[in-house]
Amino acid sequence: FVPGLLQTHGYTEAVLRAVQRRRVSVDDVADAVAVRMERQRVLHDSPRRFAFLVEESVLSNGLGDADTQAEQLERLVSVSALPNISVGVVPTRLGRTRMPAEGFWIFDTTQVNVELVSGHLTLTRPGEIGAYAETFTMLADMAVYGPQARALIHRARDSLV
């Protein structure tokens, strides 16, 4: 998925609806979307820096309808231009020997959050954090940024039409 801090309202709703159908019977999606949208304010806290990576396949994962997906892709392009945010796209390539099995978020050197099918993990042991930092570095080295990343995003958006 597109990382939550970069998601549009419509994309977030599509993601959380899918999770809600799989995990819980309570429909609190509207409240959860509102919380996630509010949380995005942190992106504009200029002293903070963010580095996001997404697999190229995420750009065409089919969540929501074409308008939802197009809006999300445009959001990725716009946030990639912010000075405190780096957005890398890991291109689909043959011959990869390593890839993560789950989405994860690293918070400095103190914590890693991992999103699994069955729930959410918070890791704080240095060895575990190190393993995720190493994986992030490996993926970051494979990723493209700036104009190359935006070209992949635009290609995914153009394929929606």
What's the pLDDT tens digit per position in 63-86?
A: 889 999 999 999 999 999 999 999
What's the pLDDT tens digit per position in 116-127?
A: 766 789 999 999
Whether 18 maps to a domain, the answer reads no
Whether 13 maps to a domain, the answer reads no
Whether 9 maps to a domain, the answer reads no
Q: Number of structural domains, the chain?
A: 1
pLDDT at 23 (0 to 100): 67
Q: Is the full-model pTM beyond 0.85?
A: yes
User: What's the domain range around 52?
Assistant: 47-158
Positive or negative, the CA dihedral 34, 38, 39, 43 is: positive
- In the numeric block, the tokens 């799989």 are attached to 22
- Rounded Cα–Cα distance for residues 99 and 120 (Å): 19
Name the nearest CA neighbour of 19 among 6, 10, 28: 28
